[in-house]
Amino acid sequence: MTNRFIQKLRGFVELTSTEIEALEVATRAPGTFGARKDLIREGDQPGPVFVMLEGWAFRYKVLPSGSRQVMAFLMPGDACDLHISLLAEMDHSIQTVTEAQVAKISRQTMDEMMDTYPGIARAMYIAQLVDEGTLRAWIVSLGRRNSAERAAHLMLELYARAVRAGVASHDEMELPLSQAVLADALGMTPVHVNRTLQELRRSGAIELRRGVLRIQNPTALTKFAGFDENYLHRRLRKPG
């Protein structure tokens, strides 16, 4: 089975065979988590670095009113919270969307790998910078894009990331996100999300059926959403 975490890091940095072996050892015993299970909750003491090998998850916060804001989606290959152990407690929660295979890398093991292997350290720092760039893109969408543009931008982002992760084929991907979860990510109600997706379907830009997203007119959708994938840093400069 492809280790999508190693595959992702190799997309950032040329890793040595020794570095690849170290990553394989660190992630060789993943745990299985059911759908809608919290990996860690806000207020918990930070623990290991979670690595998504299969399945989806998301970061979220719950407001005093009980409403929820999803702040990021995690798909195969993504790692959670490289430096979170420096804090006294978690400031957000992480929950699975689907059944997931999740490896846990202890803080000590991660620190040792990054101290010993410069390729792993560089790749992990780049991955963290991409996460921060993605968060900035979400802030722009929530603050400045209308509902249809916001939804289109998210669809294109998830598709671009799925292609990189090797979990998308041609112009379609599995999208295991309910309208309630999408609503919490897009700052809308589920009813508004339903109407917005219907609008995008009628435009001929996307097809979303039975959990499968098809980008039917990527050029038009990209222009409509103002999507520029540069914040995902798929094309990186070589060091030096």
Predicted confidence pLDDT, tens digits, the chain (240 residues): 789 999 999 999 999 999 999 999 999 999 999 999 999 999 998 889 999 999 999 999 999 999 999 999 999 999 987 776 667 789 999 999 999 999 999 989 999 999 999 999 999 999 999 999 999 999 999 999 999 999 999 999 999 999 989 999 877 899 999 999 999 999 999 999 999 999 999 999 999 998 999 999 999 999 999 999 989 876 544 444
Topology annotation, domain 146-232: Arc Repressor Mutant, subunit A (1.10.10)
Sketch the domain layout of the chain as residue ranges.
Answer: 4-132, 146-232
Report yes or no on whether pTM surpasses 0.85.
yes
Q: What is the pLDDT of residue 87?
A: 73
Q: What is the pLDDT of residue 67?
A: 96
Q: What is the pLDDT of residue 20?
A: 97
Amino acid at 172: E
CA 182 to chain CA centroid, Å, is: 14
Q: Which residues pair with 73 in a beta bridge?
A: 58
Q: What is the pLDDT of residue 170?
A: 75
What architecture is domain 4-132? Sandwich (2.60)
User: Which ranges of 77-234 does DSSP label H, i.e. alpha helix?
Assistant: 107-116, 118-144, 147-165, 179-186, 190-202, 218-225
The conformation of residue 76, written as its DSSP 8-state character, comes to T
